[in-house]
Structure 1
Amino acid sequence: MLNALWLGFFMVAAVSALSQWLVGGNAQIFAAMVESLFAMAKLSVEVMVLLFGTLTLWLGFLRIAEKAGVVEALARWLSPLFARLMPGVPRGHPALGLMTLNFAANALGLDNAATPIGLKAMRSLQELNPHPDTATNAQILFLVLNASSLTLLPVTIFMYRLQQGAADPTLVFLPILLATSASTLVGLLAVAAVQRLPLLSPIVLAYLLPLGLGLAALMALLASLSAAALAQLSSLLGNLTLFALIVFFVAVGAWRRVPVYEAFVEGAREGFDVARALLPYLVAMLCAVGVFRASGALGYLLEGIRWCVEGLGLDTRFVDALPTALVKPFSGSAARAMLIETMQSQGVDSFAALAAATIQGSTETTFYVLAVYFGAVGVQRARHAVGCALLAELAGVVAAIGVCYWFFG
């Protein structure tokens, strides 16, 4: 899928450039495309410099949390919920703890740290699978919740906004929180409807009801605020939550007599390795997206969508954020490249860039998650996993656009 998407960017760009040259007489289009290639390669390195620091910093603090038992305690706390939602998994099975660790890493915005844990969880679930080529109900629920990706701290998106010169990188904190909550809720409800899960059981309600009431109270509070106050509150909560979590990790680590400095360095070393491995993928996708825009192909696509939206009598400002949404189901690196490119071309604090950042944080990469997680255990029949995951992704995108009009419109 990723090979086809990357090749498609270049092939469509080539056709678009040839049409501009042969039909429109624009002989400079090829120079613009080559210039874009080198510009995007340079931008990739600039982004990676900050990404090195961000991943190194954050994985260092996460390692302190792991050694202090914070993540393990979270796993124990959530295990009864997942045991109820996944009746096919025996109580105390290692998969429950691994899934909880995976969700915790996703919630903290640590996508690269979450994937290895998630693969271990999927392999553990596969041990319980009586039909190895067909996904079980537990595997489907785990995958859909992974694809909807509830993210409480979208650290990497803050980092991209900082790198592009945003005055307040955490401005999108609350919009992303609301959009990703909508995505996860729809994903859970979709799977629950198909699998007839007991969402109204006392144990499940004991976990989900306080969360739902908390979100409802937050929505009620936000509804009473002006746009300027919303932006200010989002900034305050984003920065306060991030710093408070770091202090909490360090304080608990010190209380548990963890050598916090050594633990941080150990985790930071892993973060450095993860960031280094991402550079080739970032260069590949940013260059492909740069050529796609420079050829005029992206402009044609967006103008077509804009024309349809105008025909419906709707506001068209969100259209420039749609490239991120369109490629997100197929490739996280391509969506990341589209987000960065939108920030550069539209302005980091433009409505389009804010909407693209919110879309990027609202869901995961559906087909990538399907391919990696099911491919790792040899599952070929996904059953209702694809439909439920795509429904959750659509809900996240729609919610992201709506929330951005609410906050920044």
Structure 2
Amino acid sequence: MVLSRFWLVIFISSIVFVIFSLFSGNSYTIDHVLNGKKDDPILISEKYIDQIPAFIKDSINKSEDKTFIVNRDTLNADSTYVYKNKVVKIFSGVQKSDGLLPTCKSTLLDLILPLMAYLAFFCGLMELLIISGVSEKLAKVLSPVFVKVFPSIPKNHPSISYMTLNFAANFLGLDSAATPFGLKAMESLQEINPEKDKASDAQIMFMCLHASGLTLIATSIIGYRAAAGASNPADVMLPCIITSFIGTIAAFLIVGIKQKINFKSASLVIGLMVLIAAIIGLLMYVNHLDLIGKNYFTSNLSALILVGIIVFTLIFSFIKEKKFTDANTTVYESFVVGANNGVKTGVTIFPYVLGMLVAISLFRNSGLFEIISNWIAFAFSNMGVNKQITDALPVAMLRPFSSAGSRGFLIDSMNTFGADSMTGRLSSIFQCSAESTFYVIAVYFGSVNIKNTRYALQTMLLVDLICVITAIFVASWFF
């Protein structure tokens, strides 16, 4: 219910603001909101050639393509004058994201189809893990801890192994693997959900822990920083781990208090201590490496582990081939069945993702998001917050809505202020410290047709806020 209302508010307010801007004269056209593409110039006016300044008119006439670009202020977008059919079109600024119709197309072609391919492959592997008995053994090993965190889940339930693989993939920055494992976990949890259209306690806990984004190897962030010319691309790795870890603990405590979980359980404390020890051990190892060593380690560890999972699954399935025979199937046929289920899951979540991304597209292109973010930045600056921090806030604000959008702001902030600036580093921490909340909600709950997400959205947004505040303190401490 909350998600539905929030979606309606974003959608309707954006449309109202677009119409108001058009009739108030603040916008010349709304075509870019519907048909424009990201980074396209925005049309702000049209004039007859005799109505423009003489020096621009002369420059247009001398130009072979009848185009003239004015660069008066290097801090702002250029104005471009294009002469065609007796009219000079004036463009200024660029579009922040794809318009409504291109978003519909790109959601299918650039997001859902690749996601379906990932789902097909990893769901095929999951089917092998299930039939070979690996998932059952993993669930038995981890049940003592998981039944404390998820008391409504029966001991040794298959969802435990799926959630474990999802968390592990997230820790290692393996987004392409984390999503299929997570969707499989949601499907498994849905099987024991007594109210099929309402999120269960276990599903909410899983979603909030997943969305808190605990990442040990921030491979993509390191890559972006290296491309931007950072002197030490991996210098944000420790702040990212600390921020995402605090966000994960906050999510666990908030949901745990709501669900009245026993935090004093010995198995739970031991599990938490093991996780903390693993993080500290990793940090100590990475910290003693030089720059090349850090880059080599972070770029190869995740890939090696993913390859290791694939190889282990195939070899173990071959060893346990008799189990496949007993199930009246083969290893390959089981993989195909699992892959087919992955494709079906991709088809199921498409409408949910489409609806959310179209609303976000309208929100950004309407100009409403920019106004709100400017207000918040202005409020923070008046409170005495460092300008380098307020310059990074657009990344934090857009992150819950769109990973691609916030990534664009991240790259822009590093290009504008420098990858080694406080703004560039803080933007990097914002980007890797949490998930895209609304996208995750749409994908995961949409995959099992849950309409009532209960308190999941509010909790995830609160955790996002905690991550933002933590990132600011951690960045100020380190840099």
TM-score (norm 2): 0.60
For residues 254 and 278 of structure 2, the distance between their equivalents in structure 1, rounded to whole angstroms, comes to 22
Q: Amino acid of the residue matched to residue 302 of structure 2?
A: L
Q: Name the SS of the counterpart of 2:406 in structure 1.
A: helix
User: Which residue in the other structure is 2:460 paired with?
Assistant: 389
User: Which residue in the other structure is 2:429 paired with?
Assistant: 358
* Greater share of helix: 1
Q: Amino acid of the residue matched to residue 155 of structure 2?
A: R
Q: 1:256 to 1:99 in 2, by over 3 A?
A: closer
Q: How does 1:10-409 map to 2 (within 5 A)?
A: 11-12=16-17, 15=20, 18=24, 20=26, 27=45, 32=91, 36=95, 67=128, 74-107=138-171, 108-110=174-176, 111-127=178-194, 136-153=200-217, 157=220, 161=224, 165-166=227-228, 171=234, 173-216=237-280, 235-249=295-309, 251-253=311-313, 255-256=315-316, 288=362, 291-292=365-366, 300-329=371-400, 334-343=401-410, 345-347=412-414, 350=419, 352=423, 354-366=425-437, 369=440, 373=445, 376=448, 380=452, 382=454, 385-406=456-477, 409=479
C-alpha displacement of 1:186:
0.7
For residues 223 and 18 of structure 2, the distance between their equivalents in structure 1, rounded to whole angstroms, comes to 26
Q: 1:158 to 1:188 in 2, by over 3 A?
A: same
C-alpha displacement of 1:308:
2.1
Residues 14-49 of structure 1, C-alpha deviation per residue, up to 9 Å, x if partnerless? 655756469xxx74799547963898869x97xx87
Q: Name the SS of the counterpart of 1:358 in structure 2.
A: helix
Q: 1:257 to 1:369 in 2, by over 3 A?
A: closer
Structure number with greater CO (CA < 8 Å, separation at least 6) is 1
Once the two structures are overlaid, the 10-residue window that deviates more, 169-178 or 110-119, is 169-178
For residues 386 and 146 of structure 1, the distance between their equivalents in structure 2, rounded to whole angstroms, comes to 13
User: Which residue in the other structure is 1:5 paired with?
Assistant: 10
For residues 152 and 110 of structure 2, the distance between their equivalents in structure 1, rounded to whole angstroms, comes to 45
* Greater share of strand: 2
Q: Which has the larger radius of gyration?
A: 2
For residues 197 and 463 of structure 2, the distance between their equivalents in structure 1, rounded to whole angstroms, comes to 24
For residues 464 and 374 of structure 2, the distance between their equivalents in structure 1, rounded to whole angstroms, comes to 24
For residues 191 and 281 of structure 1, the distance between their equivalents in structure 2, rounded to whole angstroms, comes to 27
Q: Name the SS of the counterpart of 1:83 in structure 2.
A: helix
Q: Amino acid of the residue matched to residue 238 of structure 1?
A: T
C-alpha displacement of 1:185:
0.7
Give unmatched runs, 5+ long, in structure 2. Answer: 1-5, 29-43, 47-78, 80-88, 319-330
C-alpha displacement of 1:187:
0.9
For residues 406 and 209 of structure 2, the distance between their equivalents in structure 1, rounded to whole angstroms, comes to 23
C-alpha displacement of 1:354:
4.8
Q: 1:379 to 1:400 in 2, by over 3 A?
A: same
Task: Report if the CA contact (8 A) 1:173-1:235 is conserved.
Answer: no
Task: Report if the CA contact (8 A) 1:141-1:191 is conserved.
Answer: yes
Residues 248-299 of structure 1, C-alpha deviation per residue, up to 9 Å, x if partnerless? 2355356537599x979x97xx79x969x7997899578647635xx5x555
For residues 182 and 339 of structure 1, the distance between their equivalents in structure 2, rounded to whole angstroms, comes to 21
For residues 170 and 212 of structure 1, the distance between their equivalents in structure 2, rounded to whole angstroms, comes to 24
Q: 1:59 to 1:152 in 2, by over 3 A?
A: farther
C-alpha displacement of 1:209:
0.8
Q: Name the SS of the counterpart of 1:200 in structure 2.
A: coil
For residues 298 and 248 of structure 2, the distance between their equivalents in structure 1, rounded to whole angstroms, comes to 20
Q: 1:178 to 1:235 in 2, by over 3 A?
A: farther
For residues 197 and 313 of structure 2, the distance between their equivalents in structure 1, rounded to whole angstroms, comes to 43
C-alpha displacement of 1:184:
1.0
For residues 93 and 189 of structure 1, the distance between their equivalents in structure 2, rounded to whole angstroms, comes to 23
Q: Kindly, what percent of the aligned residue pairs are identical?
A: 20
Q: 1:400 to 1:376 in 2, by over 3 A?
A: same
Q: Amino acid of the residue matched to residue 109 of structure 1?
A: D
Q: 1:399 to 1:240 in 2, by over 3 A?
A: farther
User: Which residue in the other structure is 2:76 paired with?
Assistant: none
Q: Amino acid of the residue matched to residue 318 of structure 1?
A: I
Name the Cα RMSD after superposition: 5.3
- Give the length in aligned residue pairs: 385
For residues 378 and 137 of structure 1, the distance between their equivalents in structure 2, rounded to whole angstroms, comes to 13
